[in-house]
Amino acid sequence: MNDKLKWTGERLVTQISNEDTIYHLHRYSIPQEYIKDKTVVDVASGEGYGSNIMATTAYKVIGIDISKEAVTFANQKYGHRSNLRFIEGSADKIPLEDGIADVVVSFETLEHIDTHQEMMLEIKRILKPGGILIISSPDKANYSDRFNRVNEFHVKELYMEEFKTLLAQHFKHCIFYYQTFLTGSFIFKEDYSGTQIKEYNGNYNQIQSSDNLSFPMFNIAIASDASFTPQENSYFEGTDTMREFYYNTVMGFTPYKLGNAILKPLRRLFKR
């Protein structure tokens, strides 16, 4: 079996190590607080790595993806887990029975379809009463508008207010979070329990500050018809991932490869 799913830019695959890797792994850390010994459905499970992570904690995980190739690959790669399986299906027509899931997870799915109401109704259908949904989607204002960016795989992105309105239409209790990528120094008061982070930026000439993160790229929600314990503010330490990214970038840089090719015969000569 090929242990790598082809990277097209549409979904994250495990041979990719970059900023997106850290975003996605951090998101999959959130369900850990809610899925112990629970049945979980991962809508738009992609390559399967996230479902596999959750299967180490959950009673059972079912990954759903519209790509037959991704489903086949995930079942082969992660099939060693008896509590994990992957099924082909769409987010707005989930091929599962009513009330099967304690928790539904769906990261970076909404923007790939325009049938958002149908997707929410399907998620409510497969959730048990009082079940929890954990969902994320890029913030249109900061992901696209700010940078004049068009993602060819996105069909309908949402602004934060639209995201909040959608979730509030279907769930009684919703807690919303922002996610952004930071590099720098974090200083937290020992008994920190606030809801804001002061952000500093600048150079040797000047330092500025603001009371919030400058532009959160992704919106995240935890929603349920029952009360639940909120997720705490958190940080995913991604040094190893970024080190691998920078190493691969340098190794793939044409001048580096050219220089290495020129120097390789010289290294052999000096070894003699």
Cβ atoms 96, 64 nearer than 8 A: yes
- Model's pTM, two decimal places? 0.78
Question: Among the residues of the chain, which ranges form H helices?
Answer: 19-29, 49-55, 68-77, 116-126, 140, 160-168, 239-251, 254-271
- For residue range 15-35, list pLDDT tens digits in order: 666 677 777 788 898 999 999
* Residue ranges of domains in the chain: 19-183+214-237
Mean pLDDT of 132-156: 92
The residues near 111 (Cβ < 8 Å, ≥ 6 apart) are 137, 138, 151, 154, 155, 156, 157, 158
Tokens 């995930």: give the residue.
74
Kindly list the strands in the beta sheet with 218-224, ordered across the sheet, starting from the edge strand earlier in the chain. Answer: 84-88, 60-65, 39-43, 101-107, 127-138, 218-224, 173-179
Q: How many CB atoms lie within 10 A of CB 93?
A: 12
Tell whether the model's pLDDT for residue 261 goes beyond 50: yes
Q: Read off the pLDDT band of 110 (50, 70, 90).
A: very high
Q: Read off the pLDDT band of 230 (50, 70, 90).
A: confident
Separation between Cα atoms, residue 137 and residue 159, nearest integer Å: 9
- For residue range 165-218, list pLDDT tens digits in order: 999 999 999 999 888 876 655 555 556 555 566 666 666 566 576 666 656 788
Mean pLDDT of 139-143: 91
**Residue among 99, 135, 120 at smallest CA distance from 170:** 120
CA 45 to chain centre: 10
Percent above pLDDT 90 for the chain: 52
Per-residue model confidence (pLDDT) at position 258: 54
Classified by CATH at the fold level, domain 19-183+214-237 comes out as Rossmann fold (3.40.50)
DSSP labels, 127-152: EEEEEEEEEEEEBHIIIIITTT---T
